[in-house]
Chains A and B, each alone.
Chain A
Amino acid sequence: MPSADVKAEYAGLVKAAATGDRGAMEALLVKAQEVAYRFSLLVCGHPEDAEDVMQDALLKTYQHVARISEPDAFRTWLYRTVRNACLMKRRRRVGEPSNFVSVERGIDTVDGTVHVDVTDPSRAIDQRLIDGWVDGRLRQALRRLPAPYRMIVVMREIEGLSTKEVAAIAGVSEANVKTRLHRARLMLRKQLEHV
């Protein structure tokens, strides 16, 4: 579905939910959790955080809907909220603050920004569900991308957000999103050749 249609669908649900339509609220909250699940797994690469991030998205969306002034901006708000929840979850993990890796930045080295996978395999909940959901090669290749590139390519190519929306979520210019997307596609293609 084109990005504008999805945006309009979200805006319609937000308006209806704000007027007390329980069906619209349910649909919106389920969508918010689905976004949280996909983002946790594909961008942050932390299946063990997915449940908490989904819960966070549920509560924040419920609280936000009643006072939202721009329904058209809801989708952008949701992804920003989910991204922040993923980051905060990492920060809160006991023993991991010094290893915190920003989704935005990854880790800078003399050779450039590199992705660091800090997933704890012992807590890989839902692994069978995840394996049956998205092509394993694609997930593996995504994990190998530097974090800022992974986020851009997932939001544009999988989540179907527009360049403008991704720029607003990531806090960068649209030109920067296009440049990163171009590089991310090339990197992803290269990684897919090796998995």
Chain B
Amino acid sequence: MSAPTNTCQEILTNISGYLDGELDASACDAIDRHCLECASCAALVNGLRETLGLCRQAATAPLPDAVRQRARESVRRLLDRQEKES
């Protein structure tokens, strides 16, 4: 694997903007071109994509049914009690 270059350092600095779609097209192209030639930066970008993918899976994972059920029961108990008292 080749030694890190100034471009590698720039990519490290801009990688979040790149992944968040905040960079302009020419900056994105420059990163894409560099990653074709630099295995280290390509691995970084792919690794971060995988990391964010895992986070997004967690974001959409529904809570366990038992937890949701307990939450609903607590809410109903509270609201029933409040209605009786009012």
From known contacts A26-B79, A29-B78, A59-B78, infer whether A54 and B55 are also in contact, taking CB-CB under 8 Å. no
From known contacts A133-B64, A159-B59, A192-B54, infer whether A185 and B75 are also in contact, taking CB-CB under 8 Å. no
Residues of B within 8 A of A189 (CB): 44, 47-48, 50-51
Cβ A185 vs Cβ B50 within 8 A: no
Residues of B within 8 A of A185 (CB): 15-16, 19, 48, 51-52
Q: Which of B2-10, B23-31, B32-40, B66-74 sits within the interface?
A: B66-74
Q: What separation, in Å, do the CA atoms of A62 and B57 have in the docked complex?
A: 30
A38 contacts the other chain (Cβ, under 8 Å)? yes
B63 contacts the other chain (Cβ, under 8 Å)? yes
Residues of A within 8 A of B72 (CB): 26, 30
Write the A165-195 contact mask toward B (1 if CB under 8 angstroms, else 0). 0000000000000100110011011001100
The count of residues in chain B whose C-beta lies closer than 8 Å to any C-beta of chain A is 30
Closest chain A residue to B83, Cβ basis: A22
Q: What separation, in Å, do the CA atoms of A67 and B63 have in the docked complex?
A: 29
Residues of B within 8 A of A188 (CB): 51
Cβ B63 vs Cβ A133 within 8 A: yes
Cβ A54 vs Cβ B71 within 8 A: yes
Cβ A33 vs Cβ B71 within 8 A: yes
Cβ B59 vs Cβ A133 within 8 A: no
Residues of B within 8 A of A193 (CB): 47
The count of residues in chain A whose C-beta lies closer than 8 Å to any C-beta of chain B is 38
Write the nearest CB–CB distance from A38 to chain B, whole angstroms: 7
Residues of B within 8 A of A158 (CB): 55, 58-59
Closest chain A residue to B22, Cβ basis: A178
Residues of A within 8 A of B74 (CB): 29, 33, 54-55, 58
Closest chain B residue to A34, Cβ basis: B63
Q: Give 4 new A-B contacts, CB below 8 A, not counting A62-B78, A160-B59.
A: A26-B79, A34-B67, A42-B58, A133-B64
Q: Which residues from chain A sit less than 8 Å from chain B, CB to CB?
A: 22, 25-26, 29-30, 33-34, 37-38, 42, 54-55, 58-59, 62, 126, 129-130, 132-135, 137-138, 153, 157-160, 178, 181-182, 185-186, 188-189, 192-193
Q: Which residues from chain B sit less than 8 Å from chain A, CB to CB?
A: 12, 15-16, 19, 44, 47-48, 50-52, 54-59, 61, 63-64, 66-68, 71-72, 74-76, 78-79, 82
12 sample A-B contacts, Cβ–Cβ < 8 Å, listed by A number: A34-B63, A58-B74, A58-B75, A59-B78, A62-B82, A133-B64, A134-B61, A138-B58, A157-B52, A158-B58, A158-B59, A192-B54
